[in-house]
Chain A
Amino acid sequence: MAAIKNNKTLLALTSAALALPGMAPRTALSLDIGGLEIGDIEGGFQYSHYEEGDDRINADTYQGTVTLPLTGRLNLNGHWIVDAWSGATPSINVPSEVLGRPDGDVVQILTSASPETRVAFDLRAGYQFDDVLLEFGGGSSDERDYDSTFFNFRTAWDLNEKQTTLSLGLNYQDDDIEAVTRPDLHGQKSVYNIQVGVTQVLSKDSLITSTFGYTRSSGFLSNPYKRVFIQDLGAFFEQRPDNRNSWVWDTRYIRHLAAWDAALHLDYRLFADDWGVHAHTFEAAWYQPLGHDWQVVPRVRYYSQNDADFYQPFFTQEEAADEEFSSDHRLAGFGAISGGAVVTKDWADWLNFETSFEYYQRYADLEIGGDGESDFADYNFWLVNVAVKIKF
């Protein structure tokens, strides 16, 4: 019994030691280049496919990432992404009377977008002091009609014997917007964002993390391809306000359930902006190890938003008089339910495989306190991912 007890003690001490920063076992190749030790180089690749129902838009996304840990405290990370998408997307809504069907409905008209490709990359450097993490990053994204440059700063401060972590993030983004069908359009947009967060260990098997974010966007914030129908006048490009202030509060509770060695992740997110949009997101995921290094993660998500102040399915001349109008279905009031699962498998310490599937259904009727007015825009999509992570 004494031996068993000692083994349990040793196991507990070993587990605790592994939980400390810098104490993870080194299992992969380490390089020594000019006295600079590079170890546990990690690489990852992910393929994702997105597809909407009714033969609407579909997209393929390829991502790669490389992490170089230098000197045990300095990490360099590079990430690239390539998107390619094509298919039909909503362009305008018209009252059914316009189409000779006087039934009082709204008809959503889709147009086929030409195939598009986006190429993006970002670089990040992080330095871990004993109790403070500093990270600097930046990158760019290029599309035929949308270029973006962005910079990030993030710091995290461990307190209270690492039971509490405070974090601060600052982000800046500068975008240039054009439209293939509007050669005279040259829009510009700036986005400033600040985030403050706290992560608190609640007990030996639970923790909570909460983050508050504020974002100010200014410049050309419209979608250059979306149109609105104004009765007796016809179709016009949408016009959103030139500024947007938004706030988001996200809280996640994580609890380990010893009977199943499972982890329950519960997430709630509240969003509000000065366009009149309020949104709630609830998400639950159950991380269940299955033995032999397999894991399955079923999850479900519910989302609800109300419509923006300047949204209408279509407009009368009086409604459009204030020169701020949009019929973009993403600014309508609606709810959505989605669910799926993630399956992961570890091979040894150096190879990890992950695949996931998610199905999403938009239902106007699921909006909290809504009237289902935008049900003409309901649709569904599914998203599948396949990812491989390797330690070289």
Chain B
Amino acid sequence: MPLAHLTVIVCLILMLAACATPVKPWERGTLAKPHMAVDPSPTETGIRHHVFESKEASSGGLGGGGGGCGCY
């Protein structure tokens, strides 16, 4: 991946952070709801990613790594 692409990605992330509205701890009731979690069902996500990674070329790169082949 060219360095320019990575630079664009970092800039986008910094721009998003700059857009954030300060949220006090007592205002985070909604954010604490289970369906607002980044991954509400990690075990189910694991098996989906395992299947996709064994069927598509863009395997791995995120998650905990490991787990062998199991590439049916």
Contacts and interface: CB of A to CB of B under 8 A. Distances in A.
Interface stretch (A101-109, A231-239, A248-256, A313-321): A248-256
Interface string A134-152: 0001111111001111111
Contacts of A195: 61-62
Contacts of A211: 62
A246 B31 contact: no
B9 A137 contact: no
B15 to A, nearest CB: 11
The A interface is mostly helix, strand or loop, or mixed, namely strand
Contact of A20 (B25, B43, B52, B60): B25
A188 interface: no
A254 to B, nearest CB: 6
Interface in B32-72: 32-33, 35-36, 38, 40-41, 43-44, 46-48, 51-52, 55-58, 60-62, 64-72
A202 B19 CA distance: 7
B65 A63 contact: no
Interface stretch (A29-37, A43-51, A68-76, A91-99): A43-51
A141 B24 CA distance: 44
Nearest to B54: A330
Nearest to B29: A15
A292 to B, nearest CB: 15
Nearest to B64: A152
Contacts of B27: 12, 16, 204
Given A193-B60, A263-B33, A330-B55, A163 B23 contact: yes
Interface in A147-190: 147-152, 154, 161-164, 169, 171-173, 175, 177
Interface size class of B (residues with CB under 8 A): 35 or more
A45 B19 CA distance: 41
B36 A207 contact: yes
A243 interface: no
B7 to A, nearest CB: 12
A12 B28 CA distance: 9
Interface residues of A, number: 114
B68 A256 contact: no
A368 interface: no
A148 B68 contact: yes
Contacts of B38: 199, 207, 209, 252, 254
Contacts of A362: 55
B28 A19 contact: yes
Contacts of B20: 163, 200-203
B17 interface: yes
B33 A256 contact: yes
A201 B67 contact: no
B4 interface: no
B17 A116 contact: no
A246 B70 CA distance: 21
A356 B48 CA distance: 11
A214 B3 CA distance: 13
Contact of B44 (A122, A191, A277, A354): A354
Nearest to B47: A48
A65 interface: yes
A120 B66 CA distance: 10
Contacts of B64: 122, 137, 152, 154, 169, 171
A358 interface: yes
Given A19-B25, A202-B21, A271-B61, A118 B44 contact: no
B57 A330 contact: yes
22 contacts: A17-B26, A65-B43, A83-B72, A118-B68, A146-B69, A151-B66, A152-B66, A173-B66, A175-B68, A177-B69, A198-B13, A200-B16, A207-B31, A207-B36, A248-B58, A273-B58, A295-B35, A330-B55, A342-B41, A383-B47, A387-B41, A387-B44
Given A201-B28, A354-B41, 16 more contacts: A11-B29, A116-B72, A143-B70, A146-B68, A163-B22, A171-B65, A173-B66, A200-B20, A210-B16, A246-B60, A248-B60, A249-B9, A273-B58, A281-B58, A356-B41, A358-B48
- What are the nearest 3 A-B pairs in CB distance? A150-B66, A141-B68, A15-B29
